[in-house]
Amino acid sequence: MIYDIDFLDHYSQPKEISHGSLANFNGDSIPYTIELGLSKSSINECNEWRDFTTKFIITFVDKNPNIINYRKALQEDIMLEDYNWDWSKKAFFYNTSEYNWFFLKTSEGIQSVCLTFHPKKSVLQNVDIFYIQYVASAPWNRISSLHERRYKGTGIEIIKQIQLYFIKIYNYNYGFSLHSLPQAQKFYEKIGMINLSEYNDKNGLFFYEMDNEHAITFLEGKND
């Protein structure tokens, strides 16, 4: 099925909501901006991430001809669970006012993307928070022996700035929730999220929420 997203109501004029700096692999401080809004160019750029990963998969296979289970071997080195994500399809389905698209960009392009849903009732507190529908860093920003990492902390940074945005604009409480892919569980637990197994997805996704106390600590950078 081809998803035609060339309809104006599927897009919103991107606007900058925050800016800051990231460390690149040399330790240099590189400026970034975070944009809110869905554009065709941003979606197309995210779809190109798959080409980057494909090249490294091919290289890995060529260098390791005797491996029997390539998928298992690759997953021990690089996250592949979002490899087949189609960002055009997601843009087609998630374009109403409850959904917000955020893109972290440097002069080299998009470094991470996050799609949120709101308002979402907190499981841990009787307040409104936001829910992360999808979040991903560009494949070259992930730790892997297959390539040199370009930027550090792009996933953490976009989530932090989105948290601050919802606090400022919607007066939501500190905290957010999501369903995690298995490979990302350790990351979410490291930043202070709590797995509430009774809300796990039937497709094997794990439900996590960050409460008020851990969210404040997360924003202060004490658990990066």
pLDDT-derived band at 2 (thresholds 50, 70, 90) equals: very low
- State the chain's mean pLDDT as an integer: 90
8 Å CB contact between 85 and 134: yes
Verdict on whether the full-model pTM lies above 0.75: yes
CB proximity list for 1: less than 8 A, separation 6 or greater: none
Residue 170's H or E segment, with its range, is helix 154-170
Element (H, E) at 171: none
Report how far residue 22's alpha carbon sits from residue 18's, in angstroms, rounded to the nearest whole number. 13
Residue 66 CA to its chain's centroid (Å):
34
Q: Please tell me what DSSP assigns to residue 209.
A: E
Query: Domain residues of the chain, as ranges?
Result: 8-219
What pLDDT is stored for residue 10 in this prediction? 57
pLDDT band at 42 (very low <50, low <70, confident <90, very high): very high
**Per-residue pLDDT reduced to its tens digit, 111-162:** 999 999 999 999 999 999 999 999 999 999 998 877 889 999 999 999 999 9
Q: Report which of residues 44 and 12 the model is more confident about.
A: 44
CA distance linking residue 69 with residue 122, whole number of Å: 40
Would you identify the CATH topology of the domain 8-219?
Aminopeptidase (3.40.630)
Tens-digit pLDDT profile for residues 160-180: 999 999 999 999 999 999 999
Within 10 angstroms of residue 120's Cβ, the number of other Cβ atoms is 20
Given a cut of 50, whether residue 7 has pLDDT beyond it is no
Contacts 24+ apart (CB under 8 A), 41-45: 42/14, 42/101, 42/103, 42/110, 42/113, 43/5, 43/87, 43/88, 43/91, 44/88, 45/109, 45/110
Specify the pLDDT at position 222. Answer: 55
Could you say which DSSP state residue 14 is in? Answer: -
Q: What are phi and psi of 121, to 5 degrees?
A: -70, 130
Contact assessment for residue 22 and residue 29, using Cβ atoms and an 8 Å cutoff: yes
pLDDT at 72: 78
The pLDDT tens digits of the residues spanning 56-74 come to: 888 888 888 888 887 777 8
